[in-house]
Amino acid sequence: MKVEIRSEPFDPWAELATHQAGLPAGEFGASAVFVGSMRDFNDGDRVQALTLEHYPGMTERQLETLSAEAMGRWKLTDTLIIHRVGELRPAEPIVLVAVWSAHRKEAFEACRHLMETLKSSAPFWKKELTGDGERWLEKNTPGY
């Protein structure tokens, strides 16, 4: 189980390969991955940049708690969550959620649950830069 908050850009596919290479061979038969990237639009407006703020320490603990709960709810080999903070530009990865398990059902369900729960409960705040200036977002896009 690994959780990281980063202020620098990251390559989700390289992170995934590195993490998976450290897992015990043969202990998983399925992996499910979600990568979220910054869009250049929201609510009908063009978005030039996104600033993500978080509460250091609290955010990591919340994500660790979510991962631990998923490990207890499903038969998982491991989980990985990497989330960006700071200023992002369109197309840059914001979040990587990955889950490994013996079977696809658990991997799919746990990955979706982690991502949806993260979006609804982790302490992140978003500010968009549009042609009309800056605005704080009050809600996330709907998931489930």
Contact 88, 129 (CB under 8 A): no
Average pLDDT, the chain: 96
* Residue 143 in domain: no
Domain region containing 51: 2-16+29-134
Share of the chain above pLDDT 90, in %: 94
Number of folded domains that form the chain: 1
CATH of the domain at 79: 3.90.1170.40
Asked if the model's pLDDT at residue 144 lies above 70, the reply is: no
pTM for the whole structure: 0.95
Nearest to residue 1, comparing CAs of 22, 17, 30? 22
| The two structure tokens encoding residue 108 | 């799919």
